[in-house]
Amino acid sequence: MGDRQNKLLKAIVESYIKNVKPVGSKSLCEMFNCSSATIRNDMSYLEELGYLEKTHTSSGRVPSEKGYNYYVENLMKPKEITGEDFMKLQTILNNKELVLTDAINKCMEIISDITNYTSIVLGKNSNNNILKQISIIPIDNKRVVAVLVTNTGHVENKQVIIPDDISIKEIVKTCEIVNKSLVGTPLNEVLEKLEFEIKPEIAKTMAKYEELCSFFYDAFSDFKEKNEDDIFFGGKTNILKQPEYNEPEKIKEIISKLENIELVKNIETDDKEIKVYIGNENNFDPDTTVIKTSYNVNGEVGTLAIIGPKRMEYDKVVTLLNFLKNYIER
């Protein structure tokens, strides 16, 4: 393609992204200082190459998947982050009271608000999480909070009602034995080790060892299950604000896919670069774009992803994800 065709395609893609209206030759004549016939010829040529499509309701053109791909790979220029958006993200990232997971989630929520798209963070599974400590914090005679901390600083807590046949004192003492024996164990191995290695040790000193082991077994089961589905959504319904999702059937379809945990997990990536998957490329939904990358901070790994319509502000999303990834990995 010639220079003018490249600039023309860029203008059409960016106009459609912004205005959601098919682009006609008239609106482009002044921009390119060309006659309407010249612009129409160039648009027809771009259509022949598969970069543009004609709509049924207008004589204007819209970008095709191939056109969006060409734009992302050859024409798009990164968009600068505004000072306001920069400050919002930096305030979260500089908050030393937040563990990494929470900081990433809050930043992705901000990016969802900035872009009006849906953000997803896929954390690592329990195979990579190692138990650092479990603590029991009494609330009253009937309730305690079990707090689990992993080697990566990830913290989970659960309020638990104490069974009538055991006391807080017995739970705290058992917790000491559990910590001594299980610290350093991957979370996916904790339940088996508790049952076959720790339970006999507890039985030596605690009369109600069966009840106490059941208490900790239930607590660890919940932690493990939650960790295995370590998925965070920011602006989960933001995508529904896009005009592509005005019809009830499309709304129902996209919500169903966002609720499908196995489908969402397929978004996970090990790719260190930011990659753009448009339409049929993303294996999530053919009418969406998924932009994603992985992160790795001191062994804590995961995936950052943004889901939006194919008519997405690619330059803005790529810039924001790149900023977040570089900041947390520096």
258 - beta bridge partners?
none
Q: Which helix (H) or strand (E) holds 253?
A: helix 248-259
Domain at 60, CATH number: 1.10.10.10
**201 and 266 co-located in one domain:** no
Quick one: 218 and 98 in the same domain? no
Tens digit of each residue's pLDDT, the chain (330 residues): 889 999 999 999 999 999 999 998 888 998 888 898 999 999 999 999 999 998 776 678 999 999 999 999 999 998 999 999 999 999 999 998 888 888 999 999 999 999 999 999 997 654 567 888 999 888 888 888 888 888 766 677 778 888 888 888 888 889 999 999 889 888 878 888 888 888 998 888 888 888 888 888 887 876 665 555 578 899 999 999 999 898 889 999 999 999 998 899 999 999 999 999 999 999 899 999 999 999 988 777 899 999 999 999 999 999 999 999 999 998
Question: What's the CATH code of the domain at 158?
Answer: 3.30.390
Structure confidence at residue 100 (pLDDT):
85
CA–CA dist 261, 259 (Å, integer): 6
Nearest CA to 238 among 91, 115, 155? Answer: 115
Same domain flag for 263 and 313 = yes
CA distance 118 to 229: 18
If you ran DSSP here, which 8-state letter would residue 186 be given? B
Domain end point (choices 213, 228, 243): 228
| Distances from the Cα of 229 to the Cα of 77, 98, 177, 196, 200, angstroms | 36, 21, 28, 26, 31
Residues 236 and 118 in one domain: yes
Domain check: are 90 and 18 in the same one?
no
d(CA 46, CA 151): 54
Q: What is the pLDDT of residue 60?
A: 85
State the pLDDT at residue 126.
47
Mark whether 114 and 237 lie in a shared domain: yes
My answer on whether 119 and 238 are in the same domain is: yes
Phi, psi for 320 (deg, rounded to 5): -65, -45
Same domain, 157 and 120: no
Is there a single domain that holds both residue 238 and residue 187? no
Based on the domain organization, do 181 and 256 belong to the same domain?
no
Q: What is the CATH number of the domain that holds 106?
A: 3.30.450.40
Q: Which domain holds residue 260?
A: 83-124+230-329
Q: d(Cα 320, Cα 291) in Å, to the nearest integer?
A: 11
242 with 103, same domain?
Answer: yes
Contact 190, 131 (CB under 8 A): yes
Nearest by Cα to 231 from 318, 108, 134: 108
Residue where a domain stops, chosen among 169, 195, 228: 228
How many domains are contained in the chain?
3
Last residue of a domain, one of 228, 256, 285: 228
- Contact present, 309 and 122 (Cβ < 8 Å): no
Q: Looking at residue 16, what is its pLDDT?
A: 95
**One domain, residues 154 and 215:** yes
